A and B are shown apart, each in its own frame.
Chain A
């Protein structure tokens, strides 16, 4: 790239879409840098697919602008956008062979036959399926078909590759394998990828940045770490990873810590660096940050609780406890065989560090 470094690959500016009364997407803006892997994450109906389809040109926005490579593309037809798209059900053309499928975008670009042949062979090597060129799509397994779909996008090096839940139709093991492979291709080729999924594990594994969406708008954008450790909203905290969320009141500050009153926890809670308006808030603690002890360490937050259930899942053990205030908490830790016998009914203390408390605004 010469001067293009400063120009974002994709610039979405205040686009929105309504279907009658239904708000598919509120005014949304988003920027995608060259070589970035950005995931649109959210439950179904959150607007992530609408946004992707607008970038692809398969849905037109009611307002706002979309620029690809610095060129205005809001109303450009899909075939003039220089994008690639991978569909959940692969969308390989059933009447064309694998090689013809991959050659399709090249032929549309009027490449010479020799070039087409060479590029097809090269990309088939890249996805490690050089031997299936002459087969028909139906003769391939699901995983192979998705790799061919990927190859069909990679072969013409589009500006951006859009992926709409590409691994949704595959089983767990294959999904894990292909996640790593897509990630490898992304790194190796430096492609810019806009990825849609509702699978949080997939998101955390693959993304450079995550755009969490809910009810037709962006809830939070950031690195996977940002979203996991510093969620901005209850929805973000709840959607990504497991969380214990308790209602609380911010009552004051002491020694750099915010002090909260948390009736369901049965006492006061400290939050490192917590700043905010006094009043109703929520606090969130990740299950892996909670430990169960008989005697709390000084300076830690502690809640007295009773063990309800112990669930052994292999390398980790999950314990459900109930606080005196009646709230259920999930505690997760590495399995220690001797602790498996923590019998239901035992009274313990759940403790965590103040810096592991995340302060969240009360939901509107």
Chain B
């Protein structure tokens, strides 16, 4: 290599690696979304106007819906953070074996379809649902309580849908907290309460904030859960947008509502960036560890010191009450943590399994307990051309999406993790933006674009749409893997005479195989489970499995859905076990 060209040679490959993904997202996401937002300033005929916003400002109903949306999101966030923290703490502080097992039970619902989980709550909370049966059986209530179609039902559903995301985000930060810090605090004379509140908790705060942010932003774009579990009083902004587009065909006003939603997201996001910095989203711990304390931090510390002192005193009191067996130390705290953690895990994992017994019922309604035993609902599924076609189409779209997202996302991850340049942050922001922009807005914008390009109802259109959503998962997964990849393996391969392509094929890719498979599965499942974009982009008979489930659920929730859910659960379990097995085998081979 000639020296004079070295800087260019180093610059260009990284650029080329980033270009496809960046171009893809600019063209298929940023462009249509900005088109949609611009529409809000136009009349239906295309003239410039502020009428849409005047209507928005004047319509009390929209502000109320915005209020409901924010209230739902805030409650979901608060509850998620509170319930996720003990689970994440338990998992992060367990031994490797236990951690792997517990993580599986958090991931299982994470990967299980939103729809399946929502159906499970219908069975649990319904008039003749599990809880009502129990309550009546033990005589707490004479008549069934109206639990479904209410704010608490929506809360439970959303919490269930989003808690895994929160737990996983918190774990990634907690795992990076050095275990010696708590030990050091103990040896320096801090009782367990003070150690937790003064040392561990402040260091885990970036994880709490990141988890909370992701939950808040995700819940702003939710419509499945409120639509299926809520009443008209729980209607959320995305539902109004859908209504404007699908029923009223009022694109400009849908654009104005989208602006409202995006502004809400941006406000939250900016606030987060001010306090914690966006970079802490990537899982780096202890944001602000390089900064001296400001006034807010000092107040927070005093608060935490007080909490620490309070729990120390509580601990002392409890230790005094507890009979001591041969001087053994109190293990009560850890036991309480296990109880809390297992309760949360049961809450997360169990509902999906409920669909299994229900699917074998011989009755024609989804209720509890299932009567008889029959496979008629599986026969109904397998005998229906429409269900099978939808399943086949979902597989096809998910496979194509995974391939395309890998082809675009993997080079981008390489480009971002190898070349350190200005502008990387901006590019990463763009690549991750599909996670942040509410899905409903992407879906509506794509629908508008596709209508002009005649892509509505085509497989290509759906694959492109799903790829937008899958790219961030591929990029994040691959960047995490590449962070631990030692580039000297490549250098060694080059020095041994391999050219770049052969080094990539024989050395880099085999070493990254587990990560590549994980990213592929991530992309596959993202597409396989996707409903929002499918709802808009698939037309007529050409439907996917989630869309089919949704359509039939909106009409009537019958046990066919339970049968389909059971099969989906089986598929996801197989995929998770397979991924885990490949990961373990790869680690075992390398030692």
Number of interface residues of B (CB under 8 A): 30
Decide yes or no whether B61 CB sits under 8 A from chain A.
Answer: no
Decide yes or no whether B191 CB sits under 8 A from chain A.
Answer: yes
Given known A-B contacts A58-B186, A156-B189, A162-B187, A134 and B292 have beta carbons under 8 A apart: yes
What's the nearest-Cβ distance from chain B to residue A66, in Å? 12
Decide yes or no whether B180 CB sits under 8 A from chain A.
Answer: yes
Which single residue of chain B is at the shortest CB-CB distance from A53? B183
**Docked-complex contact B185 and A104, CB < 8 angstroms:** yes
Report A-chain residues with C-beta under 8 Å of the C-beta of B327: 74-75
Decide yes or no whether A109 CB sits under 8 A from chain B.
Answer: yes
Report B-chain residues with C-beta under 8 Å of the C-beta of A78: 183, 186-187
Which single residue of chain A is at the shortest CB-CB distance from B287? A95
Determine which of B184, B199, B291 lies in contact with A136 in the assembled complex, contact meaning CB atoms within 8 Å. B291
Which single residue of chain A is at the shortest CB-CB distance from B183? A58
Decide yes or no whether A189 CB sits under 8 A from chain B.
Answer: no
Report A-chain residues with C-beta under 8 Å of the C-beta of B290: 136, 138-139
Chain A 135-146, CB-CB to B under 8 Å as 1, else 0, gives 011110000000
Report B-chain residues with C-beta under 8 Å of the C-beta of A87: 180, 183-184
**Docked-complex contact A77 and B329, CB < 8 angstroms:** yes
Report A-chain residues with C-beta under 8 Å of the C-beta of B288: 95
Decide yes or no whether B293 CB sits under 8 A from chain A.
Answer: yes
Which single residue of chain B is at the shortest CB-CB distance from A83? B187
**Docked-complex contact B289 and A95, CB < 8 angstroms:** yes
B184, B190, B285, B329 — most chain A CB neighbours (10 Å): B184
| A97 to B293 alpha-carbon distance, docked (Å) | 8
Report A-chain residues with C-beta under 8 Å of the C-beta of B293: 97
Q: Which residues of chain B (183-209) have a CB below 8 Å from chain A?
A: 183-192, 194-195, 198-199, 202-203
| A136 to B291 alpha-carbon distance, docked (Å) | 7
What's the nearest-Cβ distance from chain B to residue A256, in Å? 53
| A60 to B286 alpha-carbon distance, docked (Å) | 31
Decide yes or no whether B181 CB sits under 8 A from chain A.
Answer: yes
**Docked-complex contact A105 and B292, CB < 8 angstroms:** no
Given known A-B contacts A77-B191, A77-B329, A91 and B186 have beta carbons under 8 A apart: no
Determine which of B181, B189, B285, B292 lies in contact with A79 in the assembled complex, contact meaning CB atoms within 8 Å. B189
Decide yes or no whether A166 CB sits under 8 A from chain B.
Answer: no
B183, B188, B289 — most chain A CB neighbours (10 Å): B188
What's the nearest-Cβ distance from chain A to residue B280, in Å? 13
What's the nearest-Cβ distance from chain A to residue B563, in Å? 45
**Docked-complex contact B189 and A89, CB < 8 angstroms:** no
**Docked-complex contact A75 and B329, CB < 8 angstroms:** yes
Subset of 25 A-B contacts with CB under 8 Å: A56-B183, A60-B329, A77-B186, A78-B186, A79-B195, A81-B187, A82-B189, A85-B188, A89-B178, A91-B183, A93-B185, A93-B203, A94-B181, A94-B203, A94-B286, A95-B286, A95-B288, A97-B292, A105-B189, A105-B190, A108-B194, A136-B292, A138-B290, A156-B188, A162-B187
Q: Which residues of chain B (297-352) have a CB below 8 Å from chain A?
A: 327-329
Chain A 85-113, CB-CB to B under 8 Å as 1, else 0, gives 10101010111010000001100110000
Report A-chain residues with C-beta under 8 Å of the C-beta of B186: 57-58, 77-79
Known: A75-B328, A94-B203. 5 other contacts (CB 8 A): A60-B328, A85-B188, A91-B181, A95-B202, A104-B185
| A74 to B189 alpha-carbon distance, docked (Å) | 16
Chain B 42-55, CB-CB to A under 8 Å as 1, else 0, gives 00000000000000
Which single residue of chain A is at the shortest CB-CB distance from B286? A94
| A82 to B195 alpha-carbon distance, docked (Å) | 16
What's the nearest-Cβ distance from chain B to residue A126, in Å? 17
Report B-chain residues with C-beta under 8 Å of the C-beta of A83: 187
Given known A-B contacts A91-B178, A94-B286, A97-B293, A85 and B202 have beta carbons under 8 A apart: no
Decide yes or no whether A152 CB sits under 8 A from chain B.
Answer: yes
